[in-house]
Amino acid sequence: MTEERLFLRPNAIVEPLVDSFYASLYMTAPVPATMNLAFRQIPLLDSYLLAPDLHYSGSRNPKFRGGFFVGVEERRKDEVEALLAAIRRDRADLIRFAEAIAEAEKIVREGATGYDLRPLYPKLPPELSGLVEIAYDTNNEASLHFQEPLVYKSKAYAEERQSVQLSVETGIERPFVMSTPRLSSPDVLELPIPFRHPGLEELFLSRIRPTTPAALREALELGDAEAARLSGLLVPEPALAADRHVAAGARIRYWGHACLLMQTPEVSVMTDPFISADTGATGRYTYNDLPDHLDYVLITHGHSDHLVPETLLQLRGRVGTFVVPRTSRGNLCDPSLALYLKSFGLPAVEVDDFDEITFPGGKIVATPFFGEHADLDIRAKATYWISLGGKSIYVGADSSGLDPMLYRYVRRHLGTVDIAFLGMECDGAPLNWQYQPLLTNPIPKKMSDSRKMSGSNAEQASAIVTELGAEEVYVYAMGEESWLGHVMATSYNEDSYQLQQIAEFEEWCSNKGVKSGHLLDQHEWHWSQP
């Protein structure tokens, strides 16, 4: 192979996969991943094989966007059949682990009647031995608590499930990640390696640091055919933006959805990275605009539009610390974000509410995040109050403003906010859309539909701004960007309730003298430091 020093193409994309499905938190963290495998992915593939044409047409129908339709053409039915057969054969231990969880929860529901729990332990399935504790809450309701670090060391976590697909961004929307497995393709480089493989760090660092094809071939353990495909992902010159770093003052750049980059000459802080690889498009920031090093990456919560595996993996070697909210430890629906990131080979620290991280000229404070998770007991969620460049910035993510007094306490503790960023997806997906595979005691559809993953409406957003004393507030785009439909699968029109609520909120801001805006694609704020 040539010894010419080359760079990774700026428009290369990567999809980390688990048994060919997109490696979101709930498809990778072992406890919910086994449940999703057994109770969503296998039934989904079974359904496809019964009616492949119906699934494919449903996946392409705008009315069913975000629905569970497998977007694979009928001519590739045999490949889906082979994938399903391999899953049933090779993942029997994982399927049995999920079934054991369902059995154990039934045992607890029926046997934990307020009395001593010790007699229940011998009745639990052997697959869970040493991995769960049964405990009552103060209402005398019992539940299982998983020893998640140990589950990562058990048969329930199998790195051989993991692979990575690399290709070139075409600008054509990829199939919806929650429903459609990624099959092999002649124009895709498939790497059957775990996400933490050191070769992936070498690959993605080659965006900013040239290397040779031979060095990458060795690092990634490629055969001849794979090495030939890799050559198509390398170019002789980078396309890095000259202004990706800040020489003076302070700057915030909006990268789309909930992704912000805050920079001074001393520090760079990014929130919920979701970066476009389509460098041929205009009006957006891409990997070409990313600084060579990020000091901190803040994750607000584990939904797949905020904890984005295809972006996270490409940050290998370029981030000092990932900051994530602490989980409740052991809750089936609340897997650890830190363990998930570490499985990708990424450095992560956990923070509780009002924990502080200081840096030259500022600090990051984790603040509470209410709602948005369909009323489930999920604690791995945080908003952030950031002091940087002489300004205070509030990153509200999808916090739904359930109790305005919370933000009064935040203001008392930390001071007023100069700039606030909020999510206003105020009519989100129902409980079952994300969490149905984890519910071993199913609930009625009407109940599920009443419990939505919703951010703030106009009234709640107005209360947040009032209590924080924010001078400026911006609502981030809610999946409106064209390049993230494969994850968001959202559709809006001028009559959409969410957009009407944003317009009502902006009118309120105008009447109150608060500067506001509804963000889309890219935006930038500059100021001089005091």
> Structure tokens of 302?
């584990």
Determine, yes or no, domain membership for 414. Answer: yes
Tell me the CB-side half-sphere exposure of residue 100, using CA atoms within 13 A: 19
Return the residue matching tokens 């990268």: 255
The predicted pLDDT at position 89 comes to: 98
My answer on whether 113 and 220 are in the same domain is no
My answer on whether 102 and 73 are in the same domain is no
Final residue of a domain: which of 210, 235, 260?
Answer: 235
Residue 126 burial (CB < 10 Å; 0-12/13-18/19+)?
exposed
My answer on whether 355 and 314 are in the same domain is yes
Distance CA 297, CA 226 (A): 32
Mean pLDDT, the chain, integer? 96
Whole-Å CA distances, 41 to 84, 174, 449, 450: 9, 18, 22, 25
Residues 346-363 pLDDT 10s:
999 999 999 999 999 999
Among residues 358, 339, 362, the alpha carbon closest in space to that of 349 is found at: 339
Residue 78 burial (CB < 10 Å; 0-12/13-18/19+)?
exposed
My answer on whether 423 and 472 are in the same domain is yes
Determine, yes or no, domain membership for 243. Answer: no
Residue 13 burial (CB < 10 Å; 0-12/13-18/19+)?
buried
My answer on whether 331 and 458 are in the same domain is yes
Chain centre to alpha carbon of residue 39: 21
- Asked if pLDDT for residue 1 goes beyond 60, the answer is no
Contact between residue 32 and residue 435 where contact means Cβ atoms under 8 Å apart: no
> Structure tokens of 61?
């129908």
Q: Write out the H or E segment, with its range, that includes residue 124.
A: none
Residues 60-86 pLDDT 10s:
999 999 999 999 999 999 999 999 999
My answer on whether 138 and 182 are in the same domain is no
Among residues 167, 156, 211, the alpha carbon closest in space to that of 33 is found at: 156
Contact between residue 84 and residue 45 where contact means Cβ atoms under 8 Å apart: yes
Rg (CA), the chain: 23
The predicted pLDDT at position 529 comes to: 86
My answer on whether 113 and 85 are in the same domain is no
Tell me, what CATH number does 411's domain have?
3.60.15.10
The predicted pLDDT at position 494 comes to: 86
My answer on whether 315 and 462 are in the same domain is yes
pTM score, whole prediction: 0.97
Residues 377-435 pLDDT 10s:
999 999 999 999 999 999 999 999 899 999 999 999 999 999 999 999 999 999 999 99
User: DSSP assignment, residue 176?
Assistant: P
Determine, yes or no, domain membership for 49. Answer: yes
Determine, yes or no, domain membership for 240. Answer: no
My answer on whether 201 and 288 are in the same domain is no
Domain tally for the chain? 3
- Asked if pLDDT for residue 217 goes beyond 70, the answer is yes
Which residues span the domain enclosing 83?
A: 7-91+158-235
> What does the buried/exposed string (b/e) look like for 344-354 if buried means 16 or more CB atoms within 10 Å of the residue's CB?
bbbebebbeee
